[in-house]
Structure 1
């Protein structure tokens, strides 16, 4: 079960407020994928994985630059996002209007493009060249520790030691 920031069901045992993790370290990995594979291995060995927590340590915000912004890119992106919103609004208007479905959709599309162009141009102009690039951000950890509750930590550590001794899978 996955928790949602908007409420909904929360798995049993999860604290309501942010709480530091508990448990003993049974493994440490350089990537999240490796930590996931370790927990998958524990699950395959019928280990009580509800005792396990993956903890990202030494968190970093990594911003990867995707490209340079220009008026063309900004206006193109504004037109595209406006077109999607306008198409959606036009479809809704067309569904609930008594006549002219195609005209409602076309009107929504055109107005969406115009407003998308306008708002993207205003936003880019207001930035005054302070951020002339597009980027994507990720929260990344320097390492990922696998913690386990003390009652099963020794068993988990032994299983992960066996996993470490296995030869790596051959690339497909």
Structure 2
């Protein structure tokens, strides 16, 4: 077990914590916390810490002005649908027409705004992508005064479940 000072959420004071396990995925660390919770462990003393963070950007395709406009039209249509539904609640006019005009107006507005925004980049970013943070591994840290109990429960869990657990 490794003892280190880890920041806890803002409403709790910073305390000394002990890393009681290392897991290859967030799901594995989450499963370990769930196991502790099922055994009555006070999980408010547990922190999952992502280690060796990296930004992963997955490129999904080429982005052109027409594709940007199409995506903007879709988003604008949804906003128009919401606005049209709200207007339809407070109007005596034919509500389907109100909603249809709002959806069409939102789609046109969204398409124009997205096309202009993409054209303004002047080709500096002609691709669409999704970004996410990823950690190489996840530490399970527990307040030091609860570390022995957590370690005992996690050791039992690893033996029973034949679960991948990397004690510190």
> TM-score range, shorter-chain basis?
0.7 to 0.9
Stretches of 4+ aligned residues off by more than 4 angstroms: none
Aligned to 1:81: 75
The structure with the largest strand share of the pair is 2
The number of residue pairs the alignment matches comes to 156
Alpha carbons 1:93, 1:104 under 8 Å: kept: yes
TM-score, length basis structure 2: 0.81
Question: Hey, what's the Cα distance between the residues in 1 that align with 2:123 and 2:14?
Answer: 41
Question: Hey, what's the Cα distance between the residues in 2 that align with 1:107 and 1:16?
Answer: 48
Question: What is the Cα deviation at residue 21 of structure 1?
Answer: 6.4
Distance 1:134 1:48, change over 3 A: same
**Over aligned residue pairs, what C-alpha RMSD do you find?**
2.3
Distance 1:43 1:142, change over 3 A: same
TM-score, length basis structure 1: 0.80
Question: Hey, what's the Cα distance between the residues in 1 that align with 2:32 and 2:58?
Answer: 28
Aligned to 1:123: 117
1:163 to 137, 157, 165: 157
Question: Hey, what's the Cα distance between the residues in 2 that align with 1:65 and 1:145?
Answer: 29
Task: Give a deviation string over 1:73-124, Cα, whole Å, max 9, x none.
Answer: 2122111111111122122222212323222222212211111111011011
- Give ranges in structure 2 of 5+ residues lacking alignment: 1-7
- Give ranges in structure 1 of 5+ residues lacking alignment: 1-12
Report the secondary structure of 2:124's partner residue: coil
Question: What is the Cα deviation at residue 144 of structure 1?
Answer: 0.9
1:126-141 paired onto structure 2 within 5 Å: 126-141=120-135
